[in-house]
Structures are given as structure tokens and as C-alpha cells.
Homo-oligomer: A and B are copies of this chain.
Amino acid sequence: MNQPESNTKVYIEIVRQLRVMIEKDGLKAGDKIPSERELSERLNAGRSSVREALRALELLGLIETRRGEGTFMRDFRGNQLVQLLSTFILQDEKAKKDVVETKKLIEMDCLQLASLKRGHESYGLKEWVLKQEDLKDDCFFQKVAELANNHLLFRIWQILKDYYHSLQMEISEPSGELYVKLAEALESGDQETILAAYRKLRNLSVD
């Protein structure tokens, strides 16, 4: 590497450089990344170091490599990474409880946010819910998370959702009526009503 090196490992620096490059060139999903050999030359590093960086990013699901073709940006909303991590991470019981608990909290946050941020357009959530047949829980909350209009929170929710599913617990799908109720509560705009509807949906008592 050229300047910003000191004691950081080369492959870490390469990851940094790649991120800069991606941002600067505005690379999107599907776009091609310079070849390993070119990168190693441009960044003044060995090809093996470049590979270490790329392999890491690949395992994270951020890029995709096709032999004989090249390396490409990926639409990293994927979750294969979460699956991998979860096999490593979610071992003790406490961690599982944390996931369940945190997911609920984030969902409540999303609801709250969504109710605060509506107004502009009365997002016809209720109509949408009614139109769906066999509404999936994830699907509903994905919608809510989007309405919250906070990309970061949405991402966090997605990750939690994936973790949640990897827990392999028996998941109860509430009846469709409860979603309608929740949608109505959301449009009422009253925090208490919303939370009450959510608790009913999740079968919670106090928290």
C-alpha cells in the first residue's frame, strides 16, 4: 500500500481502498470490479493479499466471483452470511433470548416511527393488508419497517429477522385479523393503541 499504511494488515487496507473505490466510481450491484491482478498492481500489493480481501468480502456476501469472468458487486441484502454467522454465534441460550427480545423492540420502534412519519400520504396499509391473502408476518413488518422510512433501522430489522428464523423455534403465525387491527391502530396515530395492538399480536403481557 502507499501512504496510509502503518501496522494495519494489507488486506484490511485493501478492503478500505475497495470501499473508497466503490464509492468514488459509484459501483452498483452487478458492476464489475477490477481484476485481481490489476488491483494488486494498482494498490501495489501482492495478489494473494488482494485475494484475502476479496475472499473476505465474498464470504460477507458483498461481492461475487465468477471464474473466467471476474469479480462483481453484489446486491447485498442477501442473508447467506447471516446464516453462516448464526451457526457460529448463536450458541448459548441467552443470546437467543436477546435476539427475540431485540427483534420485538425494533419492531415497536418501527411501528412508532411509521406512525409519526405518516401524514404526508395516508399509506393505505390497512387496504394492503386486506388485499393480501395468507399474509406472512415478515411481510407485514417489512412493510412497516419501510414505512418507518429509516433505512438503517430497516436493515437492522432484516438482520434480526434472519437471526430469528435461524433459531429454529416454533413460530406462531397470528391470525390475519390482528394485522388489520394493528394497521388500524397505526393509522389512528396513537402510540398506546399501537403498542397495545402489537402486544396482542405478539401475545405479550407488559413489555
Contact in complex: A81, B82 (CB < 8 Å) = yes
Q: Does A94 sit at the interface, judged by CB under 8 A? A: yes
B-binding segment of A119-127, A146-154, A175-183: A146-154
Do the beta carbons of A155 and B86 come within 8 Å of each other? Answer: yes
Q: Determine whether the beta carbon of B105 is less than 8 Å from that of A109.
A: yes
A88, B113: Cβ atoms closer than 8 Å = no
- Annotate A140-168 by CB proximity to B: 1 below 8 A, 0 otherwise: 00000000001111011001000000000
Instruction: Identify A89's interface contact among B76, B85, B88, B90, CB under 8 A.
Output: B76
Which residue in chain B gives the minimum CB-CB distance to A73? B88
Cβ of A151 and Cβ of B98 under 8 Å apart? yes
Q: Is A55 interfacial (CB 8 A cutoff)?
A: yes
CB distance from A99 to the nearest CB of B (A): 6
Bound together, the chains give a CA A62 to CA B79 distance in angstroms of 16
**Is A102's beta carbon under 8 Å from chain B?**
yes
Say whether A91 faces chain B, with CB atoms less than 8 Å apart: yes
Q: Is the CB of B89 within 8 A of A207?
A: no
CB atoms of B153 and A81 under 8 A apart: no
Residues of B within 8 Å of A113, CB to CB, are: 101, 105, 207
A136 in contact (CB, < 8 A):
no
**How does the 8 Å CB contact mask read for A63-87 relative to B, with 1 for contact and 0 for none?**
0000000000000110101101111
Q: Which chain A residues numbered 4 to 60 have a C-beta less than 8 Å away from chain B?
A: 11-12, 15, 19, 22-23, 48, 51-53, 55-60
In the assembled complex, the CB of A155 is this many whole angstroms from the nearest CB of chain B, namely 7
User: With a CB–CB cut-off of 8 A, which chain B residues contact A55?
Assistant: 11, 52-53, 55-56
The docked-state distance in angstroms from the alpha carbon of A58 to that of B89 is 14
Residues of B within 8 A of A87 (CB): 19
Known: A55-B55, A59-B56, A159-B79. Contact between A86 and B48, CB under 8 A?
A: no
A171 within 8 A of B: no
**Residue from A57, A59, A99 with most neighbouring chain B CB atoms (10 Å):** A59
Task: Please indicate the chain B residues that have their CB under 8 angstroms from the CB of A101 in the complex.
Answer: 113, 150, 153
